[in-house]
Amino acid sequence: MKKKLFIFSNESIHFEDNKFYCDNLDLKSTPEGLNKNFEINLFGRKSVIKRSHEIKIKKIQIFNNIISYVSSAIAASKDQNAKFLIISISPYTFLVALLIKLLGKKPIIYLRSDGYGEYKAILGKIGPIIYHLMFSISAAISHLISCRHYILREKKGKVLSPSQLDSTWLRQPKNTEIKDFKLLYVGRVRVEKGIYSLAELIRNKRDIFLTIVGAEKGKFYGINQSNINIHATQNNKIKLIKYYDDHNIFILPSFTEGHPMVLLEALARRRPVIIFDDIKHVIGDKKGIFVTKRNFLSLLGTLNNIKKNYKKIQKDMRKNKLPTNKEFIDRFVKLIGEF
């Protein structure tokens, strides 16, 4: 019999026609992958907004408010043989971690990104102070797993490399060249993701075009520029790969990132990646990633450098050893089993 694994997330989940949907692909693929080894029970926040990715596991609960969310977490923690996985630290999941510990269990917290940077981007100077309090207490009462060593802030924990890549992603990519700059961004349209900052940098630039893939259905983002096209989150893998292949450069303008899986997707399709110096730590040993400052002259210089050396860059990118989703899930299962 499979051991129960209760997963608590702060992500929004939409219920429609007896199915559950989310926008964050990781919230879909990670529970589905772990479901092969555990009996998964997923908890999330209720969303009235339609989402893109169907979560194909049987036991999902969603809640309107923090009281009902926490009450269900208390009920779940009475299962003496279960394990408890918390994805990221937020006010919701922080309370869950506290209660699970008070009820005699030690939760596992999986940190996918640097909360210090995210809270600063959202709340300003007070953000890192709030996150530091939650992180410090959570680290003291939990087992930690992170996608980067630095996110652990010298706390004891395990590290793994998330990935969505499979054999389809690793097929021979479509050949392309650069005439105009056709930039692609795949991800959520939020302030902390730097997309509004990027839109301002390329405003009225006729030879730079940006495609954004990751909009929520029915939501207006206030970006109205002739050189920017916004598309809904794409849950069809073949169509998503086509977005990468139809563009010549991928750009990740985030102010903070842990282990961005879209970066791996771009490298798999051999599209050079531009990031800003806020997140230069994501480069590691990967080839084909270029760092620029958050101003137009620096960005333009980076774009022209890539254009000039495009074929050589793509040749060097063939040397990248990219993790796969299977390797990620196998490692995750092993780490959970160690706690």
Q: What is the CATH number of the domain that holds 242?
A: 3.40.50.2000
User: For residues 135 and 318, what is the distance between their CA atoms, to the nearest angstrom?
Assistant: 38
Instruction: Please count the structural domains in the chain.
Output: 2
> Which pLDDT does position 235 carry in this prediction?
79
Beta partners for residue 15, in sequence order: 20
Mean pLDDT of the chain: 91
User: For residues 168 and 97, what is the distance between their CA atoms, to the nearest angstrom?
Assistant: 37
Does residue 86 register a pLDDT over 80?
yes
> Which pLDDT does position 188 carry in this prediction?
85
Query: Which residue in this structure is represented by tokens 């590691």?
Result: 284
Residues 310 and 278 in one domain: yes
Whether 176 is in a domain gets the answer no
Taking a C-beta distance cutoff of 8 angstroms, is the pair 284, 320 a contact?
no
Does residue 258 register a pLDDT over 80?
no
Closest alpha carbon to 139 in 111, 116, 161, 118:
111
Whether 250 is in a domain gets the answer yes
Percentage of the chain modeled with pLDDT above 90: 62
Helices (H) and strands (E) in the chain, counts: 11, 15
User: For residues 110 and 95, what is the distance between their CA atoms, to the nearest angstrom?
Assistant: 15
> Which pLDDT does position 74 carry in this prediction?
87
Q: How confident is the model at residue 118 (pLDDT cuts 50, 70, 90)?
A: confident
Q: How confident is the model at residue 242 (pLDDT cuts 50, 70, 90)?
A: very high
> Which pLDDT does position 218 carry in this prediction?
63
The total of other beta-carbon atoms located within 10 Å of residue 103's CB is 13
User: For residues 199 and 210, what is the distance between their CA atoms, to the nearest angstrom?
Assistant: 8
Taking a C-beta distance cutoff of 8 angstroms, is the pair 85, 336 a contact?
yes
Residues 19 and 155 in one domain: yes
> Which pLDDT does position 25 carry in this prediction?
83
127-166 per-position pLDDT tens digit = 899 999 999 999 999 999 998 888 899 899 999 989 999 9
Residues 200 and 334 in one domain: no
Does residue 113 register a pLDDT over 90?
no
Mean of the pLDDT values across residues 259-276? 93
Query: Which residue in this structure is represented by tokens 């600063």?
Result: 120
Enclosing domain of residue 206: 181-317
Whether 108 is in a domain gets the answer yes
Whether 168 is in a domain gets the answer no
User: For residues 87 and 70, what is the distance between their CA atoms, to the nearest angstrom?
Assistant: 15
User: For residues 227 and 152, what is the distance between their CA atoms, to the nearest angstrom?
Assistant: 39
Taking a C-beta distance cutoff of 8 angstroms, is the pair 69, 53 a contact?
no
Closest alpha carbon to 174 in 273, 308, 288, 269:
269
- Indicate the pTM of the whole model: 0.80
User: For residues 277 and 218, what is the distance between their CA atoms, to the nearest angstrom?
Assistant: 33
Taking a C-beta distance cutoff of 8 angstroms, is the pair 96, 67 a contact?
no
Mean of the pLDDT values across residues 166-178? 90
276-297 per-position pLDDT tens digit = 998 888 898 899 999 999 999 9
